[in-house]
Amino acid sequence: MKLYEKLADEIETAVRNGVFAAGERIPSVRQASQQHGVSIKTVLHAYALLEGRGVVETRPQSGYFVRELARTQGAWAMSPQAPAVASEVDVSRLVLSTLRSIRTNDAMPLGSPYPDPTLFPWRRINQYANAIARRHASWNLMDDLPPGNPELIRQIARRYAENGVPVDPREIIITVGATEAINLSLQAVAKPGDTVAVESPTYYAMLHAIERLGMRAIEVPTHPVDGIDLAALAQIIAREKIAACMVMPNFQNPLGFLMPDERKRQLVELLAAHDIPAIENDVYHELYYGEARPSTLKNFDTRGLVLHCASFSKSLTASYRIGWAMPGRYRAQVEKLKFLNTLTTPSVPQVAVADYLRQDGYDRHLRHVRRVYRQQARLMTAAVQRFFPVGTRTSAPQGGYVLWVELPERVDSMRLYQAALARGITIGPGYMFSTRNEFHHFIRLNYSYTWTSATETALKTLGELVAQMA
Amino acid sequence: MKLYEKLADEIETAVRNGVFAAGERIPSVRQASQQHGVSIKTVLHAYALLEGRGVVETRPQSGYFVRELARTQGAWAMSPQAPAVASEVDVSRLVLSTLRSIRTNDAMPLGSPYPDPTLFPWRRINQYANAIARRHASWNLMDDLPPGNPELIRQIARRYAENGVPVDPREIIITVGATEAINLSLQAVAKPGDTVAVESPTYYAMLHAIERLGMRAIEVPTHPVDGIDLAALAQIIAREKIAACMVMPNFQNPLGFLMPDERKRQLVELLAAHDIPAIENDVYHELYYGEARPSTLKNFDTRGLVLHCASFSKSLTASYRIGWAMPGRYRAQVEKLKFLNTLTTPSVPQVAVADYLRQDGYDRHLRHVRRVYRQQARLMTAAVQRFFPVGTRTSAPQGGYVLWVELPERVDSMRLYQAALARGITIGPGYMFSTRNEFHHFIRLNYSYTWTSATETALKTLGELVAQMA
């Protein structure tokens, strides 16, 4: 192949890959000559070839431009991959492909783990972000190094204190969402090869964190009302060395339970008696349906063994990615790991959230959201009971926005997932919540999105699919 | 202790910790009664006690407020810790405390690893961020799931293509700074216990990443002009199993060299011959002093073994934390790890940078910055030659904004660090760049900040300290 042909092919590939979009100018002849280390003549020859192929066109005194007809149809966007049903399910791959199918297909997002973003107070948050951008001529990265922006930390501590959770603001470390907080907490207390106790079913981010760090998860039976089975946990602890226990006592995903105070206390005491750190994922803390914000394991922790992780992603803004850890006696380790993992959390989102919290609108916003979720929990439960066949059972969420549904045993949630997807509906298959096959006939449904007749229709369709498979 | 005393103490602690700031209202009597599960009478008693102690005051019809005099003096801010000189230096702790001392002391930031933030085009970037906030009523987290915002990815690919680096945009994954890209790349190719070859001296983030993942670093002698010693690397490879090689071929931190193309090619070929992946840290790629943007290892990679990591943090904005990885054949693993580590990179910063790049201002901005850095490199070098004693040698940076200085052998850079800090000057001690003690008499100086007479004075002071210690 001649040099000019090679160059032409390279540029055409770039165009077809969407690197140069329709209407954009490609590098000038002189630039291309320098960049590729070839003569002006070779570039001219290559560009003429591209023009002949219809890839670019010349414009007088302007140069060479990509033609409309060569526009790439978003070649870089990932096509939704149907998740593979394998004997050993790769949980994180399954989760990611579920999320992608929601995004790319405009499907009914019953499988989404996220709250309806239209419920977030966008206008207000954006106003604060804008004000910050205007206020600061420049921004010094060092201002918000770990542990994070001091005012944001103070506001977070204030909310805990107002709700009866004793917090020393010096314990708080800002992270990129609760996901990072959970990862860093786990790394601070356990090492590759260690065994970590988790609820079963559990929120899959817990399994991800364990999987990724080369640790082993041991799943502890978890009751849909009371939470993790303390007797079973005690037996496991007696039998083998447990490096940490990861739990979600408030509105667990997927079960939705609120662990009673007395059981929270017993859990903290059981673990403390064996010097086992507890990693508490409390991302739904603001989304309670009862009278008051529930307690946390921190309320019962006298020895600094609770690493508490939370975020604003479920209640205020997900795309700002502001989470935090309160790692008790492991504070120094978690702060160092945060620095190593992502250096620091972006500044503007930190300050915008701090400014928002300083005003009084957050509680009003939360009261509204809680009312919506509480009502939609009832609607979703009623619809499942009406449309799904006999043998279907549902959880009774005390907060959050997901319903856990047990289907007749013969129904495989992965097959249901694929059949539903073909009809424009996503669900969360039970396989995502365990490394065992125990929950193959369970699904998780998201009820945060505004309830419409389309939601009803989707549940009716789902119910019919379940009935066919049962 | 009585119940009301306990409650009063708890609230006073919260005030002293800065949880409730001066002038802020503490929870109402009714709220506090509910939150703490005590009677109204007990709360009233506790609040009266706090009033007597001068911690709070009542305001008619408004409630209880924290008094001015109880204002905490930023109790949660970290005090600068003098880094410990230990036989085995904990590199990441040393780095973090260096950064803190720059922040808290308003010191002359010669020890900073970051570019002068006032050089960033803040006004423009903020304008784009504001426009996005106005444009989007709400933001769906799922729009920018890994690999990241499609338009940002396209813009990054376009810049590479314009500079003669062949890039498939589908290879790019957006990360929280290059720090996350490097961490994920390392995890994708090596596991705990593996040995990773690094340059010596090396950028400490490389050592951090290795340390954190429980791997072992093997340091390869690196030449201040030619880069990593290929013969030494070949010997190491012949002798033991190397899981990966981490390098910075363009304007290495701290040495500042630009590895010649032919040596880049040889490095890629040497590693490829043994199936060893190369992790290339290319964060300074836009800050070249020569005629054109230098090549990358990607230019010579035919087998997808180069994992290329970069960011906008050195050239456009640091606090937005936008980096990326192009992981070659390891793309799927890195994308999955990104999802597990931080789920997604914040959306608004991604789109703001994409919008900025689509306009034409970036190249003009970069030409300005390169000119400033090139000139300040000369000024800094001249000042060191003038003020430092005989036996001092400096690097000859070809890009970036740091100078590597070899001091007379008897000077310990940690002692110099502390003496300089006492005079309001920070430096980067050589200990940060190696796990061995080889660079105890080296320092790294940042010349990105606007050159003033204060810079001259600081270098004069430093020179005198060095002379005393030599």
Tens digit of pLDDT for each residue in B188-239?
A: 999 888 999 999 999 887 888 888 888 899 999 999 999 999 999 999 999 9
pLDDT for B140: 67
Across the range B352-371, mean pLDDT stands at 92
CA distance A348 to B349: 9
Domain boundaries, chain A: 3-70, 91-119+363-469, 139-359
Is there a shared CATH topology between the B3-70 domain and the B139-359 domain?
Answer: no
Chain A residues within 8 A of B214 when measuring between CB atoms:
191-192
Interchain pair A336, B96: CB under 8 A: yes
pLDDT for B105: 54
CA distance B203 to B387: 27
Interchain pair B20, A158: CB under 8 A: yes
CA distance A186 to B182: 20
Chain A residues within 8 A of B120 when measuring between CB atoms:
138-139
Across the range B294-312, mean pLDDT stands at 96
Domain B139-359 belongs to what topology?
A: Aspartate Aminotransferase; domain 2 (3.40.640)
**pLDDT value at B72 more than 80:** no
Interchain pair A162, B31: CB under 8 A: yes
Q: Which of A146, A161, A187 sits opposite B20 (nearest CB)?
A: A161
pLDDT for A139: 63
Q: Domain A91-119+363-469 class?
A: alpha beta
Q: Please identify every stretch of chain A with a pLDDT value under 70, giving residue numbers as ranges.
A: 68-92, 101-105, 136-143, 360
Give the residue, B323 or B41, on which the prediction is more confident: B323
- Token pair listed for B113: 């690893």
Which tens digits make up the pLDDT trace of B93-115? 777 777 776 665 578 889 988 88
CA distance A129 to A135: 10
Range list of H helices, B85-239: 91-105, 122-135, 150-162, 177-189, 204-212, 230-239
H-helix or E-strand containing B325?
Answer: strand B322-326
CA distance A220 to A354: 38
Contacts of A61 (CB under 8 A, 6+ apart): none
Mutate to test the interface with A, among B171, B340, B353 (most CBs of A within 10 A): B340
Task: Encode A395-427 in three state secondary structure.
Answer: CCCCECCEEEEECCCCCCHHHHHHHHHHCCECC
Sign of the C-alpha dihedral, residues A61, A63, A68, A73? negative
Across the range B330-352, mean pLDDT stands at 90
pLDDT for A159: 93
Confidence tier at B136 by pLDDT (50, 70, 90) = low
Question: Which residues, in sequence order, are bridge partners of residue B174?
Answer: B324
Comparing alpha-carbon positions, the chain A residue that sits nearest to B116 is A140
Interchain pair A192, B214: CB under 8 A: yes
CA distance B173 to B341: 13
Selected from 3.50.50.60, 3.40.50.10420, 3.90.550.10, 1.10.10.10, the CATH number assigned to the domain covering B3-70 reads 1.10.10.10
Interchain pair A129, B348: CB under 8 A: yes
Chain B residues within 8 A of A117 when measuring between CB atoms:
138-141
ipTM of the complex: 0.79
**Coil, strand or helix at A198:** strand
- Report the gap between the CA of A115 and the closest CA in chain B (Å): 10
- CA distances to A110, B121, B349, B356 from B152, rounded to whole Å, are 29, 18, 10, 10
Count of A-B CB contacts under 8 Å = 274
